[in-house]
Amino acid sequence: MNAYVQTVLGDLQRRYPHEPEYLQAAQEMLTSLSPVFDQHPEYEQAGLLERFVEPERVIIFRVPWVDDSGRPRVNRAYRVQFSSAIGPYKGGLRFHPSVNLSILKFLGLEQTLKNSLTGLPIGGGKGGSDFDPKGKSEQEVMRFCQSLMNELYRHIGADTDVPAGDIGVGAREVGYMYGQYKRLTGLYDGTYTGKGLTFGGSVGRTQATGYGLLYLVDAMLKDNGLDIAGMNTVISGAGNVAIYAAEKAAQLGARVIAMSDSDGYITDSEGVDLALIKQLKLVERARLSAYPERAGRGRYVAGGRVWDTPCELALPCATQNELHLEDAKTLVSNGVKAVAEGANMPTTLEATHYLQQQGVLFASGKAANAGGVSVSALEMSQNAMRLSWDFEQVDSQLQAIMRRIYDTISQTASQYAKPGDYVAGANIAGFLKVAQAMMAQGVV
């Protein structure tokens, strides 16, 4: 490894031993970047990497709210404004009990490189709260969102920082937050993306991450002489990303034979009934365990590993570190051809290395799941122009963006690392653009 890169990584490891997810994301990125720093000694002289790995700003605040029984509750919320080198901070908010600074810094770092890869002018940010929307009433979710916004509004704006959804934050939560933002500021601008279609949202944003994932997978498979049609496909998660990944996979001729939620997974050798999964997860907010009885077919496995299901294509679309070395070994022994990350950092470092060593095509999340934030950027454009595009206009741009991202990471891998190393290709291509902007802007 390049000595400068090693020094910066060592410093991070000493400074943040209590932030394992952040260190993992930094290590994955930094180990790829050696060839860049070998070729650009001026980056070291400019202290570029030390600056890049520290978020520009982190905001932490309490969120007091009152539950339905009248009891005051307190959650912690954060906004990590990671990098504004190439555009306003942009990235989602996550509501999940596991949310902490380490997770949001890892997500902010990933987002910065991902947003750079989209080719659109958006910087990187991420935020969220340890609030758990599960089991809360509509009123409780609304009160929480309004209270969070009572602090967050002063830190965000259409040209400064534009939040969106992530785990536990969908159209409902974005609507409540945007409503309160509007009330506090008096502005009707593009400060949130993922908004409802009646108040400035973009058509196609709901589907964008999942659809975009499959556009990239399709390009990667074709470039390697493979065809998605007929591939048995396993998808983890049953949320926004997983559901629309499953929908596009089926449209492209793949057979989605397993999906999961945080309690267990379902298998269905005929191909999952996606209308039923949407009904269960998006409408009823129910559990996948209800699937076999409601579908009259398939099987539910409580707990367990969805990766035990033999498949050619595996798409982790739930959360970080959900695909471990043992899972990777199972997938390889069952003949998996490609793994692409719909979630952020779902695959551990060991599992990623193993899959790559075994010749499995592997697309990392920064490239593969960039479709969501890309259409968010298109939503920002539409809001700025006071226009609404139709689905075809958005989807054709999404397809072009994902195709371009694949070409970029593939070419960058060949130029700086080795052909087919899409992990290095994504890290290097994403980083170079941010680095060039930082160099041009001086020490800020």
Chain positions contacting ligand NDP, by CB under 6 A: 96, 165-168, 209, 237-242, 261-263, 317-319, 342-344, 369, 372
Q: In terms of CB distance, is 277 or 438 closer to ligand NDP?
A: 277
The residues, any chain, with a CB within 8 Å of residue 152's CB and separated by 6 or more, are 59, 61, 77, 79, 127, 163, 177, 181
Region near ligand 2IT per CB under 6 A, out of 322-330, 370-378, 392-400, 407-415: 370-378
Query: Is 281 noted as a catalytic residue in this protein?
Result: no
- Nearest distance from C-beta of residue 52 to ligand NDP, angstroms: 21
Q: In terms of CB distance, is 358 or 381 closer to ligand 2IT?
A: 381
Alpha carbon distance 276, 247 (integer Å): 12
Contact 171, 194 (CB under 8 A): yes
- Nearest distance from C-beta of residue 6 to ligand NDP, angstroms: 29
Closest residue to ligand NDP: CB criterion:
239
Q: Is 302 exposed, middle or buried (0-12, 13-18, 19+ CB in 10 A)?
A: exposed
Closest by CA to 136, choosing from 174, 173, 91, 85, is 173
- Nearest distance from C-beta of residue 17 to ligand 2IT, angstroms: 26
164 part of the interface to ligand 2IT, by CB under 6 A: yes
166 part of the interface to ligand 2IT, by CB under 6 A: yes
Closest by CA to 59, choosing from 181, 137, 160, 207, is 160
105 part of the interface to ligand 2IT, by CB under 6 A: no
> Which residue among the candidates 90, 126, 195, 248 is catalytic per the annotation?
126
Q: In terms of CB distance, is 168 or 204 closer to ligand NDP?
A: 168
Closest residue to ligand 2IT: CB criterion:
92
CA distances from 116 to 105, 207, 244, 404 (A): 17, 21, 23, 12
Q: How do strand 299-302 and strand 264-267 relate by DSSP bridges?
A: antiparallel
By a kind-dependent CB cut-off of 5 to 8 A, residue 241 interacts, out of ligand 2IT, ligand NDP, none, with: ligand NDP
Q: In terms of CB distance, is 34 or 240 closer to ligand NDP?
A: 240
Alpha carbon distance 46, 440 (integer Å): 11
Enumerate the β-bridge partners of residue 65: 73
State which amino acid sits at residue 139: Q
Q: In terms of CB distance, is 134 or 222 closer to ligand NDP?
A: 134
Alpha carbon distance 244, 312 (integer Å): 19
Among 376, 382, 383, 427, binds ligand 2IT (CB under 6 A): 376
Q: How do strand 338-340 and strand 313-316 relate by DSSP bridges?
A: parallel
Q: How do strand 264-267 and strand 255-261 relate by DSSP bridges?
A: antiparallel
Contact 211, 244 (CB under 8 A): yes
Q: In terms of CB distance, is 331 or 340 closer to ligand 2IT?
A: 340
- Nearest distance from C-beta of residue 441 to ligand NDP, angstroms: 27
- Nearest distance from C-beta of residue 367 to ligand 2IT, angstroms: 11
By a kind-dependent CB cut-off of 5 to 8 A, residue 112 interacts, out of ligand NDP, ligand 2IT, none, with: none
By a kind-dependent CB cut-off of 5 to 8 A, residue 27 interacts, out of ligand 2IT, ligand NDP, none, with: none
Q: In terms of CB distance, is 191 or 267 closer to ligand 2IT?
A: 191
- What is the helix (H) or strand (E) element at residue 384, kind and residue range? helix 371-385
Closest by CA to 411, choosing from 432, 429, 430, 435, is 429
Closest by CA to 295, choosing from 309, 281, 315, 275, is 275
Alpha carbon distance 275, 294 (integer Å): 11
96 part of the interface to ligand 2IT, by CB under 6 A: no
- Window 76-95: residues binding ligand 2IT (CB under 6 A): 90-92
- Nearest distance from C-beta of residue 69 to ligand 2IT, angstroms: 32
Enumerate the β-bridge partners of residue 63: 75
- Nearest distance from C-beta of residue 38 to ligand NDP, angstroms: 31
Alpha carbon distance 235, 260 (integer Å): 7
Region near ligand 2IT per CB under 6 A, out of 57-65, 179-187, 368-376, 415-423: 368-376
Q: Which residues are catalytic?
A: 126
- Which residues would be at the binding site for ligand 2IT (CB under 6 A)? 90-92, 111, 114, 164, 166, 193, 344, 372-373, 376
